[in-house]
Amino acid sequence: MAVRTVQEFFTPEFLARLERLSLVSRRPFRGRLTGERRSPRKGQSVEFFDYRPYGVGDDLRYVDWNIFGRLERLHVKLFLDEEDLRVHLLVDASASMGVGGKLAYAVRLAAALGFVALVSLERVGAALLRDRVGQAWPAARGRRHFVSLVEFLARARADGATGLNRALESYAIGSREPGVAVVLSDLLDPAGFERGLRALVERRFDVHVLHVLAPEDVNPPGGGDLRLRDSETAERREVTLDAEGLQAYRQRLQRFLDGAERFCRSHEIGYRRVVSDASIEQFVLSQLKEVMLA
């Protein structure tokens, strides 16, 4: 992947807009930053962690009036409860994600969400999925770790077979802390993905699926007699793509997409679909802001 720096991932203007957002969890998890998020627990001991500028709607009880007296600027004190929210960024890096820039798009989406969480002082971890859990970026907290997260994601290569059920089940079982799990994938696995997503839900993760498609997934290029090669299994197949064949393909694709969305909705899994030639900024600030960001 050519992108290697934060500047190549995002514009400063986009990062500034992301900085004003935070991730929304639909489930109560142990641990929040008092003064940053409302804690689901009461009466627990807290530890001072950091300051941030006061924003409209912040609780005045957490304003540090000593700083205001010296600087004449309002700052809010942040306290770390026993644990904080954990964000899991799970990126499908199998060979099929190399088609149409899907992996490049997915890692930029993951980086955007990671930035929002790190700035909000959540703990963020990331992992690459193939037929099992591959490389992982250990959980970290704070904006100073964003460059490291970008460097990790930029090294991702689309390679190997897909095994979403196995990889997600393994991740769910091996994670000691549930939290918000974001799965970024084209979901193109002959064995399916449902069992793996169910494993995350059963382990009390708040799961979101960002279903990334390539333009050629939606509208196959060319026509006539074709010899196709599977990017993961190397299986070859000769097909004739005429008007009737193209219509059959689109109908089958729509059934697959509808089925994926229906499964997610029925299991209380957030679902958003995007094509890899769409604007990242628009998708994050419109589509994701409706379900994951505030």
Q: Which domains does the chain have, with CATH numbers?
A: 6-20+85-291 (3.40.50.410), 33-80 (no CATH)
Q: What is the mean pLDDT of residues 127-142?
A: 94
pLDDT value of position 82: 46
pLDDT digits (tens, 9 = 90+) for 152-208: 999 999 999 999 999 999 999 999 889 999 999 999 999 999 999 999 999 999 999
Following DSSP, what letter does each residue of the chain receive, concatenated?
----SHHHH--HHHHHHHTT--B--SS--S--EETTB--S--S---EEEEEEE--TT--GGGB-HHHHHHHS--EEEEEE-SS--EEEEEEE-SGGGGGGGHHHHHHHHHHHHHHHHHHTT-EEEEEEESSSEEEEEEEEESGGGHHHHHHHHHT----S---HHHHHHHHHHH-SS--EEEEEE----TT-SHHHHHHHHHTT-EEEEEEEE-HHHHS----EEEEEE-TTT--EEEEEE-HHHHHHHHHHHHHHHHHHHHHHHHTT-EEEEEETTS-HHHIIIIIIHHHTB-
* pLDDT, average across residues 78-89: 73
Q: Give the chain's length.
A: 294
pLDDT above 80: residue 224: no
Sequential DSSP letters for 2-38? ---SHHHH--HHHHHHHTT--B--SS--S--EETTB-
- Greater confidence, 233 or 36? 233
- Beta-bridged to residue 182, according to DSSP, are 89, 208
* Bridge partners, 87 (sequence order): 124, 180
| Alpha-carbon span 218 to 92, nearest angstrom | 19
Average pLDDT value for the chain: 86
First to last CA, the chain: 31
Please report, as a single letter, which amino acid is at residue 255.
R
Q: How far apart are CA 217 and CA 188, in angstroms?
A: 11
Residues in contact with 258: Cβ distance below 8 Å, sequence separation at least 6, in sequence order: none
Task: Compute the distance between CA of residue 134 and CA of residue 92 in angstroms, rounded to an integer.
Answer: 10
Distance, CA of 103 to CA of 153 (rounded, Å): 10
Q: What is the pTM of this model?
A: 0.81
114 has pLDDT over 70: yes
pLDDT at 28: 64
Question: 234: pLDDT confidence band, cut at 50, 70 and 90?
Answer: low
Question: Is residue 237's pLDDT more than 80?
Answer: no
CB atoms within 10 A of CB 216: 13
Q: pLDDT (tens digit, 9 = 90+) per residue, 14-60?
A: 999 999 998 888 776 654 444 444 443 333 445 666 777 887 667 77
